[in-house]
Homo-oligomer: A and B are copies of this chain.
Amino acid sequence: MVTTPPNMATPAVPTDAPAAPPVSDGVKAQRQDFYGRLAQHDMAPLWESLHALVLKQPASPAVPYLWRYQDVVRDLLMEAGHLITAREAERRVLILENPGMKGSSAITRSLYAGLQLVMPGDVAPSHRHAQNALRFIVEGAKAYTAVNGERTLMNPGDLVLTPSWHWHDHGNDTDQPMVWLDGLDIPIVAFFDASFAEAGNAEMQTEIRPAGDSDLRFGNNLAPVDWMPASQSSPIFNYPYGRTRETLAAMAASDAPDGCHGHKLRYVNPATGGHVTPTMAAFMQLLPAGFATAPYRATDGAVFSVVEGEGESVIGGQRFRWKPRDVFAVPSWTEVTHHAESEAVLFSFSDRSAQEKLGLWRERRPAA
């Protein structure tokens, strides 16, 4: 059943409403004339659009879709690597655009995703913006992201954050290309007309703290004694895969898998206990080999990146086979089931953080 607040029940008197009388052609004509005059004053009749504006349940324009990394996305990324420099591009990213929302640059209704390539020697120059960004590392090792004067080295399966209005740049001092999935709240910030951005006055920030300093300060369940958070985002820049994976293993060792999620974790902002950013939430789940999940729906639109294992998901009735590094989108309120052929690990991010803050988030599980 839909999860709903306790204040829903209402008593009611048996309805005695007569059916609305048929509307005569004359009245119809009068109304059309009236609607025309309303339009001249930038007004419109709600009763002609009420049920399109207030839907009985979500009907997202976004559609389920999967981007295959091997043979498709990776080849195109590498081609981009030869067609444009990171410096010229500012960010060398291929946007993953939902086929149901052409021209939107969105992967779900409220989120943006892209795959970013940083080649050896590349520098993606310093900038900052109101948008929150997360990076989930897909390929390569030891390229860096610098945030407010501090570097973090990135490895596959790491979740790296560059929160709202934090200076950030990227670079690759290794001899291998690096690829990550970018997740941003670009559509949310655009929707609220709240975008601000600045270019840095230099390509690279000066390092003012050693690499990994913030992760040590805030990632060990400690904080400097009088530190107060300056934003709603996590002070941790890098959630390394090693620690995430050991936690999944611990859950798998002692819990029965959840029927809809398997073993699923939420990334936590240790300054609040909440989600990692005020708009985007991030998750990692383990599906045991052979495990098939029960049908599940939620109002958050989610983007998945396959970390380990192979399997398939049925999303809104469409079947998608997946392998490591594939990315797929699950729109709001679209029924999804996953089946893992081998033990699988799936990263995902969604707008659940924003929806919970706005009192909008709901989920539906099979009736017990």
- Known A-B contacts: A45-B80, A110-B193, A194-B332. Give 11 more (CB < 8 A): A2-B196, A42-B97, A45-B84, A46-B95, A47-B91, A58-B194, A220-B247, A221-B239, A223-B265, A279-B359, A354-B358
Inter-chain CA distance A251–B266, complex, in Å, is 28
Known: A191-B109, A201-B15. A45 touches B94 (CB 8 A): yes
Write the A95-118 contact mask toward B (1 if CB under 8 angstroms, else 0): 111110000010001101010000
**B residues in contact with A193, CB < 8 Å:** 58-60, 62, 109-110, 299, 301, 331-333
* A43 adjacent to B11 (CB under 8 Å): no
Contact B84 A11 (CB under 8 A): no
A13-B204, A92-B47, A230-B5 known; A250-B213 Cβ under 8 A:
yes
Question: Which of B15, B42, B333 makes the CB contact (< 8 A) with A98?
Answer: B42
* Whole-angstrom distance between the Cβ of A169 and the nearest chain B Cβ: 10
Q: For A30, list chain B residues within 8 Å (CB).
A: 83
Chain B residues within an 8 Å CB radius of A279? 358-359
Please determine whether B88 and A206 come into contact, CB atoms closer than 8 angstroms.
no
Query: Which residues of B sit under 8 angstroms from A15, Cβ to Cβ?
Result: 201-203
* Centre residue among A126, A205, A332, A360 by max chain B CB count within 10 A: A360
The answer to whether B225 and A195 have CB atoms under 8 Å apart is no
Choice from B7, B55, B265, B271 contacting A148 with Cβ under 8 Å: B7
Say yes or no: is A253 at the interface (Cβ < 8 Å to chain B). Answer: yes
A362, CB-defined interface residue at 8 Å? yes
A219 within 8 A of B: yes
Q: What are the interface flags for A50-85 relative to B under an 8 Å C-beta threshold, 1 for contact and 0 otherwise?
A: 100111111110100101000011001001100111
Q: Hey, what's the 0/1 contact readout for A130-158 against B, CB within 8 Å counting as 1? A: 11100000000000000011000000000
Question: Nearest Cβ distance between residue A214 and chain B, in whole angstroms?
Answer: 9
Q: How large is the interface on A (under 10, 10 to 19, 20 to 34, 35 or more residues)?
A: 35 or more
Of the candidates A38, A46, A92, A264, the one having the most CB atoms from chain B within 10 angstroms of its own CB is A46
Question: Is the CB–CB distance between A362 and B46 below 8 Å?
Answer: no
Quickly give the copy total for this chain. 4
Interface centre among A6, A30, A216 (most CB of B within 10 A): A216
Pick the interface stretch among A160-168, A171-179, A315-323, A338-346.
Answer: A160-168
- Nearest to A150 among chain B residues (CB) is B254
Q: Which residue of B lies closest to A114 (CB)?
A: B46
Q: Is the CB of B109 within 8 A of A192?
A: yes
Q: Which of B2, B21, B189, B222 is in CB contact (< 8 Å) with A247?
A: B222
Q: Could you tell me if B31 and A192 are in contact, using CB atoms closer than 8 angstroms?
A: no
Q: Does A125 contact B (CB under 8 A)?
A: yes
- Do A278 and B358 have beta carbons less than 8 Å apart? yes
Report chain B residues within 8 Å CB of A112: 53
> A367 near B: Cβ within 8 Å?
no
B residues in contact with A67, CB < 8 Å? 41-43
Q: Taking the nearest CB of chain B, how far is it from the CB of A84, in angstroms? A: 6
